[in-house]
């Protein structure tokens, strides 16, 4: 394109079109070159992590999963043995394909360009809209830089209601789920990991989005889980469950 621009540098009718084509091609090169960073990734590994209770006594424990991208290694058994040697408790390995790489690359670029908001930030805005304000504990939680995604939305909203005195709870339970500004509970990823963590922690109950129920049932059977899982479509259903559990405990 540079050669063509030099040849037709004195032809104003053509140089404008050529410059536009060059600009578009340059943008595409910048866009696609980011894929080189993701090309080396072969697997995503997931690990156990401690759930988050925003402040002591709420009983609302939000499930957290630690993830790590693995580059260049293709032998699944070698990766598993490596973590076993390091005494790191691995939950699962997900092999990445080109679709995964493109999605990761495009999401990162859109976030950088400001076209797409970060899921964690959107979650904060939705919870704030639902609660009608940003509570003190919610503000502290959203200032964290070690978290990502939107699966803490439901737990954050329930914790906010407790903080505001609009909900009481004395039962320990696990929760995961994204939330809309109207309180609708939306499906999330890594439901298997979150159920296994809740089971490991010994929680009697777990609230999940209805959109994840089919996958959750499969995990419960395959992993022989004892935790009692409840699926909800709206936060109001979660509030009803919490009130029932507390009534059953004589609260």
Query: How far apart (Å, rounded) are the C-alpha atoms in residues 246 and 251?
Result: 5
At 232 the pLDDT is 98
Q: Are the beta carbons of 20 and 26 closer than 8 angstroms?
A: no
Per residue in 129-167, pLDDT tens?
Answer: 999 998 888 888 999 888 888 999 999 999 999 999 999
**152-165 burial string, b = 16+ CB within 10 Å, else e?**
bbbbbbbbbbbbee
Mean per-residue pLDDT of the chain: 86
At 114 the pLDDT is 64
Strand bridging mode 173-175 / 205-209: parallel
Q: Which helix (H) or strand (E) holds 231?
A: strand 228-232
Per residue in 30-40, pLDDT tens?
Answer: 666 665 555 67
Average pLDDT over residues 227-244: 97
Whether 199 shows a pLDDT value over 80: the answer reads: yes
Domain ranges of the chain: 2-33, 38-248
Out of 26-35, 88-97, 165-174, least confident range: 26-35
Query: How far apart (Å, rounded) are the C-alpha atoms in residues 43 and 71?
Result: 7
Average pLDDT over residues 104-128: 76
At 105 the pLDDT is 64
- Please give the CATH topology (third level) of the domain spanning 38-248: Ribosomal Protein S5; domain 2 (3.30.230)
Q: In 3D, which of 245, 211, 203, 208 has the Cα closest to residue 230?
A: 208
Whether 74 shows a pLDDT value over 60: the answer reads: yes
Average pLDDT over residues 172-176: 97
Q: Are the beta carbons of 180 and 155 closer than 8 angstroms?
A: no
Structure tokens at 77: 């058994």
């Amino acid at each position: 394109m540079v050669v063509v621009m030099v040849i037709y540098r004195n032809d104003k009718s053509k140089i404008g079109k050529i410059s536009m084509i060059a600009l578009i091609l340059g943008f595409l090169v910048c866009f696609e070159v980011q894929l080189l960073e993701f090309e080396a990734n072969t697997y995503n590994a997931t690990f156990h992590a401690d759930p988050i209770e925003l402040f002591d006594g709420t009983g609302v424990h939000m499930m957290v999963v630690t993830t790590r991208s693995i580059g260049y290694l293709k032998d699944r058994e070698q990766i598993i043995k490596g973590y076993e040697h390091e005494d790191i408790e691995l939950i699962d390995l997900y092999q990445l394909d080109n679709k995964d790489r493109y999605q990761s690359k495009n999401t990162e670029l859109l976030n950088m360009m400001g076209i797409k908001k970060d899921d964690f930030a959107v979650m904060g805005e939705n919870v704030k809209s639902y609660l009608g304000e940003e509570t003190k504990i919610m503000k502290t939680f959203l200032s964290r830089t070690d978290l990502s995604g939107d699966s803490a939305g439901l737990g954050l909203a329930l914790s906010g209601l407790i903080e505001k005195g609009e909900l009481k709870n004395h039962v320990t339970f696990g929760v995961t789920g994204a939330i809309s500004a109207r309180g609708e509970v939306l499906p999330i990823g890594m439901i298997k990991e979150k159920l296994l963590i809740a089971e490991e922690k010994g929680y009697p109950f777990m609230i999940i989005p209805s959109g994840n129920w089919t996958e959750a049932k499969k995990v419960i059977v395959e992993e022989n889980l004892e935790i009692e899982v409840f699926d909800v479509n709206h936060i109001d259903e979660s509030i009803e469950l919490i009130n029932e559990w507390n009534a059953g405990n004589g609260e």
